[in-house]
Amino acid sequence: MIKLTIDGKSVEVSKGTTVLAAAKKLGIKIPAVCAHAGIDTFSACRLCTVEIRKKGWTDDYSKMIASCAFPAEDEMQVFTASEGVIKIRKTLIDLLMARCPDSEVVKGWALEYGLLKTSYENRKPADKCILCATCTRVCEKVGTCAISTNQRGTTKRVGIPFGEATDCIGCLSCALNCPTGHIKYTDDGQTRKIWNKTFEMKKCTECGKAHVTVDQVAYYVKKHSMPEEHFLICDDCKQKRTADTFASISS
């Protein structure tokens, strides 16, 4: 076990635990946008930056680290809201405001740190993407790897390779996990559109509700060797059917 102190409170965690997870154990909240327990660590947003002082370091020396990736060490001292940390966080949010001037989510973070407007020039044209890559990592976890970050530097963006969403199955995981609502999709109950691709929906054979895309079913059947019958009816109708089965068993 590793024993460290965070903002003066001591906590014990197992080896390999990140500073962010250790802080969470103490109930100390560190803002972290791109950190997600279900996907690989990426350390893109840097909002979880904290100040640390390791064992043996002199009192006048400290370091800034990304707490989502940095493993906790024995006798480490962590400061989650020191002057330096707040200064870095404010600068990052200031930059994000210039990057995504229309994002209500970013504006919310800014207000928390008393920032009303950016001190930089707004990006033009701007969208709501903060390049946290949550979408691409989620897509990777689903196993489809349909989207990725394209290009580098100031032109870096999230998207589909070569303008075609060949591998996308239309599961919407990217859009549902996007922290700023940048990824848009439409679903009119007949077709679903995302990443410039239109998906045919599988309709429930009992109530007619479109519940999954045809591509999703093909993907799950192939990946998990599941019977296609599992996907014929929607979850509501499955539940009704379960009730009917209960009734026939108990009567």
Residues forming the site for another protein (CB under 8 A): 36-39, 138, 141-143, 171-173, 176-177, 211-212, 216-217, 220, 224, 226, 230-231, 234-243, 246-247, 250-251
Q: What is the CA radius of gyration of the chain?
A: 23
Would you say 109 or 219 has its CB closer to another protein? Answer: 219
Would you say 24 or 53 has its CB closer to another protein? Answer: 24
Would you say 64 or 221 has its CB closer to another protein? Answer: 221
Report the nearest approach of another protein to the CB of residue 181 (Å): 11
Would you say 73 or 206 has its CB closer to another protein? Answer: 206
CB 220 within 8 A of CB 227: no
Place of tokens 């999954």: 212
157-159 and 185-187: which strand pairing?
Answer: unpaired
Report the nearest approach of another protein to the CB of residue 214 (Å): 12
Report the nearest approach of another protein to the CB of residue 75 (Å): 28
Report the nearest approach of another protein to the CB of residue 211 (Å): 7
Rounded Cα distance between 180 and 158, Å, is 13
Neighbours of 59 (CB within 10 A): 7
Rounded Cα distance between 189 and 108, Å, is 33
